[in-house]
Structure 1
Amino acid sequence: MERSSIHHRANDNYAYTTNAETLHIRLRTKKQDISYAGLIFGDPYISDKGQWQHEEKAMSISGSDNHYDYWHIYVKPPYRRIRYGFKVHSGDEEVIYTEKGFFNEPPNDPGSYFAIPYLHQNEVFGAPEWVKDTIWYQIFPERFANGNPNNDPEGAKPWGSEDPTVDNFFGGDFEGIIEHLDYLEELGINGIYFTPIFLAYSNHKYDTIDYREIDPQFGTKETLKTLIEECHKRNIRVMLDAVFNHSGYYFPPFQDLLEKGENSEYKDWFHPHGFPLKGGERPNYETFGFFESMPKLNTANPDVKKYLLEVSTYWIEEFDIDGWRLDVANEVDQPFWREFRKTVKDIKPDLYILGEIWHDSMPWLRGDQFDAVMNYPFTNHVFRLVASQTIHARQFIEEMTAVYQSYPTNVFDVMFNLLGSHDTPRIFTDCGEDVARAKLIHAILLTFKGSPCIYYGDEIGLTGGQDPGCRKCMVWEEEKQNSELLNEIKALILLRKEERLLANDGKFKFLDTTGNENIVAYQKYNDARSVVILINPTDVQQSFTLPFDLEGRSLTDLRTKETTKDSQFVIDGYQYKILAFNH
């Protein structure tokens, strides 16, 4: 038994409440090292004749990655408090694992065990329920549609007349979006994420000049109100982009600092390293990256904090937005985000707070800061499986298992899953403009756990390389759209809405694919029903036998509506199957 690989901690993704009564507990062990894991648990205050009273329940493996097996169990402590440890077997060896280490017999002192002192209702992770059923569509407003040429910025190019560059404009605006809301509704979209819309110098608007003003190239505040009202009539939620890590170069407080230097009242709004301020390759003031046009804000400064929190509430109160996406969220101090959450949730409790973090995000997902983060590990693994084809199916399962196990399940339900964005190459380009692979990669997106997002134009096969190439004008001529891909994505979205388990109801696990490691197979299930997704990421036909006893039951192919009692399936290259059966 490899004792050094046995790991648990009584918080975060290893022990957490799914509701006020239920505790989900995980244990990590070396892969294929442990034959049995059981939970030993009891109330810390119940004993009989000096003997602590406890019971034991078997745990089950919920997944395996390259190095570890993950065991889990759900328990309901009768008095909403618990002390617990683990019994593990490996061959003839049996040990008890607790907070105090390893023992040959269960310790009698409950103080030796892991502790959850009390299951508090207000400590249950509380992301908005509506996010679980949301299919997002990311819009880069400058490039989606031009509905009013009269507000085009100076020098705007005719729509789609040239490739995007770092500084060209095409006149996309709110009126253009309003004109195409029927298109989004028909696609099945019920959430829109807008990249920044506030007054800024650039075409991407991540260099804010005024956080309380709409950039005039997009329209007016009245136009935005109309846009949001029209979205809400269609049951489409609206999420705006908040750039609180840094301002733009032409943000008035920064201009004041440039002009007055050490005598500026805004000196402590930023992080100057000397005066006069100098830009260039390495500015002498802190910035996002080393971009002189994006000076970093001092969010620990009370005046900056007050200003930004007032901005965050203004757009909720005046425009009834449904979410904030937080740019470069990991570079802003966490005390600020805690105040931000309390401030916006006091006004709108079901507001969605989404952080842009590209790495392990558990520190921000403990219920006191964000509801979710952009799930770039998901993006990366799906890309490598289908687009670049640099990992095979078994590797994908193992690597995604590690990601899935690194968060509580109720956190993963609302994670923002994406294939591409304004910061990454177009997925159709990454797939070599292969329609079959593009359809397959969207099938994974729309059947996986989490809240999926489609980057504008990906559904019609828009192409483009790294930023700014991924920011082309949307193509509206139907004859220039890839209708095969579009229709497939529409069908997948409809399936996700019709079959609750394809969204985020129930539980999730990868299936054992030992019989054919070229297949990705995962199950979404509850006590009454299962949906199984089979993915063939290779260009050759694969077969797979479901690891279930299906005697007396039939399966339904949710795409074709055909039924069968056979548990073996053949999947053509770059194809997938979505199968459902009742228990």
Structure 2
Amino acid sequence: MKFNKWLMTGLMISGLWITSSQPTNAETNASIHNESIYDLYVDRYFNKVISNDYDVNAKDPNAFAGGDFLGIIEKMDHIKKMGFTTISIGPVFATETYDGKRILDFNTLEKRFGTPEEFQQLISEAHKQNIKIMIEFPLNNFSVNHMWNAETDWIQSTENDVLTLDLTNGEVQQALTDTLIEFANTYGIDGVKLSALDGAPTSFINELIATVKEVRDPMYVIALEQSDANFDVKYSDELLVHFRDAFKNTDLSTESIVTTDENELLLFDNLNTERFTYYSALENMFPPTRIKTALGAMFTMPGVPYMTYGTEIAMNGQNAAESHQVMNFRVDEELIEYIQDINSIRNKSETMRTGKIELLENDNGYTVFKRYSDEEQFIVVINNTSETKRIDLASDVVGEDKELRGLFESDIVRADDNGNYRLVLDREIVEVYQITDRTGLNKSYIFAMALSYVLFLGFLVIVWRKGKQRRSEQNNK
């Protein structure tokens, strides 16, 4: 049965693209609206080589754990499989801390992460797989031993061994700009996540964004801090909390998340917050189911999905020591496969990324909306409630003589005698229906079922023949 379900799901999702005239993500013009972002720290991902494990102590949550650039290359297929198109890897400069933020020297890469050649190899390997690499560039709060600690006119504070610069100082602004531009030109990165924005004038941030975007196209610039600057997408602490609170349990209000637009960053946690799993566990809920439902919403609503590493294994944590765990790749793949499927739908449908949205129903966890363009139409049903839900859609919503094809459950819904399309969905499930012209016999479904049974029977025949041969050989001894 598992084989049949896998086969049918693959064929139904691939069938979406057969009927669609939309180009794939790689064929469209570069835009952050076509991206989905996977965020990680180099040190916490995968330790490929031990030659750069200086003072590494994997048992100390505050120490370096050994992850490196080559480790990301080693596990890039994992990220590619889930369908992410951009990897954000944190700061990569010489640093005193595993997260890369207590920077010592902008002119040197952190030796525990790898060499300049290995970093260049990471970018080259990512580009071969049509994946973009984004680095984090903190504007402030470096190590007190930073290369700029002698520039006394630049320094605002050195409390707690943290070097805080005066970001209103023109020389500081120029030094930061020159550093970032030189780095971007040297390595050919595809994006920058600016951080530690506090105290930076908006005008300076805008100038920095504009200057770094001149290096190459595309060059995405984002932040996980609220700002009025001209970032490619807007980040909102409030929206993050709303997503988290809407999906940590069932039957919760979704009023605050159904008005997203394509220029917003969609996420329910990040490396600076508690893990989403932490909140769902507090509710005594099963985290993988909560994560699947939340991601189902994030990847089908307007906006740019942003997922923290470890979400695919329901990583938990209330603070950095807990939530910045070393990634564990030896886990059940059910959640990973779900992310792959829902991300595949988004990646291969321009309508799902940038199309219009029409809200059809929204009631305490039960949300139904239409995503549409001139080329495609979808109905998305999010049943984040504690019971089975039903909705009847009129022909003025779906269209005349149409059918709805479920891309996960493989069901086909046609109009009843009254012209209504009845959708019934079990609790805690997200389903995406593609609206297509009504057909006669579902030849794809019949072929798939026939093929699955032929393969199964062929397998039985092979097993039977091998068994017969083995028995014959034993009798002849």
Question: How high is the TM-score relative to the length of structure 1?
Answer: 0.64
Structure 1 portions without partners, runs of 5+: 1-127, 257-265, 280-291, 405-411
Are 1:241 and 2:109 counterparts?
A: no
**Partner Cα distance (1:208, 1:325) in 2:** 15
**Partner Cα distance (2:110, 2:203) in 1:** 30
Q: Which residue of 2 aligns with 1:377?
A: 238
Q: Which residue of 1 aligns with 2:367?
A: 520
Shift of 1:267: 2.4
Secondary structure in 1 matching 2:67? coil
Q: Which residue of 2 aligns with 1:92?
A: none
Deviation by residue 1:415-447 (Cα, 9 ceiling, x = unmatched):
332232211222233322432222111111211
Q: Which residue of 2 aligns with 1:581?
A: 435
Residue 535 of structure 1, aligned match among 382, 392, 416: 382
Q: Which residue of 1 aligns with 2:454?
A: none
Are 1:139 and 2:40 counterparts?
A: yes
**Partner Cα distance (1:379, 1:451) in 2:** 13
Secondary structure in 2 matching 1:400? coil
Residue 191 of structure 1, aligned match among 57, 70, 86: 86
What are the within-5 Å matches in structure 2 for residues 392-541 of structure 1?
A: 392-393=252-253, 396-397=254-255, 399-401=256-258, 404=260, 412-432=261-281, 433-477=286-330, 481-504=331-354, 506-513=355-362, 518-541=365-388
- Whichever structure has more helix as a proportion of its residues is 2
Secondary structure in 2 matching 1:231? helix
Shift of 1:178: 1.2
Shift of 1:383: 1.0
Q: Which residue of 1 aligns with 2:443?
A: none
Residue 151 of structure 1, aligned match among 34, 45, 52: 52
Q: Which residue of 2 aligns with 1:559?
A: 408
Which letter maps to 2:80?
A: E
**Partner Cα distance (1:192, 1:518) in 2:** 31
**Partner Cα distance (2:66, 2:38) in 1:** 20
Shift of 1:538: 1.6
**Partner Cα distance (1:330, 1:212) in 2:** 23
Residue 268 of structure 1, aligned match among 153, 164, 167: 153
- CA contact 2:42–2:68 (8 Å) conserved in 1: yes
529 and 308 in structure 1: CA distance in 2 versus 1, 3 angstrom threshold: same
- CA contact 1:461–1:482 (8 Å) conserved in 2: no
Shift of 1:461: 2.4
Which letter maps to 1:382?
A: F
Q: Which residue of 2 aligns with 1:87?
A: none
Secondary structure in 2 matching 1:556? strand
539 and 517 in structure 1: CA distance in 2 versus 1, 3 angstrom threshold: closer
**Partner Cα distance (1:539, 1:466) in 2:** 30
Which letter maps to 1:431?
A: S
**Partner Cα distance (1:465, 1:201) in 2:** 23
**Partner Cα distance (1:476, 1:392) in 2:** 32
Shift of 1:253: 2.5
What are the within-5 Å matches in structure 2 for residues 151-170 of structure 1?
A: 151-157=52-58, 162=59, 165=61, 167-170=62-65
Are 1:294 and 2:162 counterparts?
A: yes
**Partner Cα distance (2:346, 2:206) in 1:** 34
**Partner Cα distance (1:335, 1:449) in 2:** 28
Shift of 1:545: 2.4
- CA contact 1:375–1:418 (8 Å) conserved in 2: no
499 and 339 in structure 1: CA distance in 2 versus 1, 3 angstrom threshold: closer
Structure 2 portions without partners, runs of 5+: 1-28, 416-420, 438-477
Deviation by residue 1:18-76 (Cα, 9 ceiling, x = unmatched):
xxxxxxxxxxxxxxxxxxxxxxxxxxxxxxxxxxxxxxxxxxxxxxxxxxxxxxxxxxx
Q: Which residue of 1 aligns with 2:113?
A: 218
Secondary structure in 1 matching 2:165? coil
**Partner Cα distance (1:142, 1:548) in 2:** 54
Shift of 1:309: 0.7
What are the within-5 Å matches in structure 2 for residues 168-207 of structure 1?
A: 168-207=63-102
- CA contact 1:207–1:293 (8 Å) conserved in 2: no
Shift of 1:530: 2.0
- CA contact 2:40–2:90 (8 Å) conserved in 1: yes
**Partner Cα distance (2:233, 2:241) in 1:** 17
**Partner Cα distance (2:383, 2:320) in 1:** 30
**Partner Cα distance (2:163, 2:360) in 1:** 48
383 and 547 in structure 1: CA distance in 2 versus 1, 3 angstrom threshold: farther
Q: Which residue of 2 aligns with 1:546?
A: 393
Shift of 1:499: 2.8
Are 1:313 and 2:214 counterparts?
A: no
Which letter maps to 1:400?
A: I
Which letter maps to 1:571?
A: L
Shift of 1:146: 0.3
Shift of 1:487: 1.3
Root-mean-square deviation over aligned CA pairs: 2.2
Question: How high is the TM-score relative to the length of structure 2?
Answer: 0.78
Secondary structure in 1 matching 2:163? coil
578 and 294 in structure 1: CA distance in 2 versus 1, 3 angstrom threshold: same
**What fraction of aligned residue pairs are identical, expressed as a percent?**
22
**Partner Cα distance (2:373, 2:220) in 1:** 26
Q: Which residue of 2 aligns with 1:263?
A: none
Which letter maps to 1:453?
A: Y
- CA contact 2:244–2:269 (8 Å) conserved in 1: no
188 and 540 in structure 1: CA distance in 2 versus 1, 3 angstrom threshold: same
**Partner Cα distance (1:182, 1:392) in 2:** 36
573 and 561 in structure 1: CA distance in 2 versus 1, 3 angstrom threshold: closer
Q: Which residue of 1 aligns with 2:125?
A: 230
The size of the alignment, in residue pairs, is: 398
330 and 548 in structure 1: CA distance in 2 versus 1, 3 angstrom threshold: farther
Deviation by residue 1:82-107 (Cα, 9 ceiling, x = unmatched):
xxxxxxxxxxxxxxxxxxxxxxxxxx
Q: Which residue of 1 aligns with 2:31?
A: 130
Secondary structure in 1 matching 2:105? strand
Shift of 1:151: 0.7
Deviation by residue 1:517-567 (Cα, 9 ceiling, x = unmatched):
551122211134321211111222222223552442211112234321142
155 and 498 in structure 1: CA distance in 2 versus 1, 3 angstrom threshold: closer
Shift of 1:388: 4.9
- CA contact 1:328–1:356 (8 Å) conserved in 2: no
What are the within-5 Å matches in structure 2 for residues 338-377 of structure 1?
A: 338-358=206-226, 361=227, 363-364=228-229, 369-377=230-238
Secondary structure in 2 matching 1:250? coil
- CA contact 2:166–2:199 (8 Å) conserved in 1: no
Deviation by residue 1:202-231 (Cα, 9 ceiling, x = unmatched):
121211111121111101111100110110
